[in-house]
Amino acid sequence: MPANINGDHRASLRTISTSLRKLHKALIDLETTRFGQIGGTFEHLQLVSGHPQFAWIRRLSEILVELDERLDEPEDIDAATLLSYKTAIERLLALGPENDTEFSKKYIAALQESTEVAMAHGALRHLLFLANDAAGLP
């Protein structure tokens, strides 16, 4: 278990953010490979932020930005905030038939196609499970 997941809520949220960033990068890398040859860094950024092929990943990007902005704020992070982010991430990444969204369909395909995505998913799911302890929930 990571040392800081059972510490304060900010440390727990930061650990989740780091893991979410790894998953996000794995998804971007996979989709970039699927897309094919691109130019430099600027062209890559333009693709990720504006091309329809990458649109399905944007909700995850938005959660990551919101999470990082909250971590940059000086106010304390309480259990409710930790659980709110945990729930939002879990809802987006849910793999069951109740989550019949474009994101879910493409995410499941990415999990099956990429070992990096699958490993990042597993690590994040483990941290989300541990967040219950960090938030004081059973």
CA atoms within 13 A on the CB side of 131: 30
pLDDT tens figures, 17-72: 999 999 999 999 999 888 877 777 777 777 778 778 888 999 999 999 999 999 99
- Predicted confidence at residue 52, as pLDDT, reads 82
Q: Which two tokens stand for residue 129?
A: 């499970």
pLDDT (average), residues 59-88: 93
**Torsion from C-alpha of 115, 121, 127, 132, nearest 10 degrees:** -150
pTM equals 0.86
Residue type, 63: I
Give the helix ranges, DSSP H, for 53-113.
58-72, 79-93, 102-113
CB–CB of 30/110 below 8 Å?
yes
Per the model's pLDDT, the better-predicted residue between 5 and 102 turns out to be 102
